[in-house]
Amino acid sequence: MPWTPNLSVGIDEIDEQHKMWFEKAEKLFEAGKAHQAKEYIGELLNFLDEYTKKHFADEEKYMLSINYPEYAAQKVAHEDFIKRLAKLRSDYDASGGSLLVILNANQIVVDWLINHISNMDKKIGQFVANK
Instruction: Tell me the C-alpha distance between 76 and 71, whole Å.
Output: 9
In the chain the domains, ranked by start, together with CATH numbers, are 10-130 (1.20.120.50)
In this predicted structure, what is the pLDDT of residue 39? Answer: 67
Q: For the chain, how big is the Rg over CA atoms in Å? A: 15
Per-residue model confidence (pLDDT) at position 10: 92
pLDDT for the residue numbered 24:
81
Tell me the mean pLDDT in the region 56-70. Answer: 96
- Over the stretch 12-50, which tens digit does the pLDDT of each residue have? 999 999 998 888 878 877 777 777 766 677 777 788 888
Q: pLDDT tens digits for 82-119?
A: 988 888 888 888 887 777 777 777 777 778 888 889 89
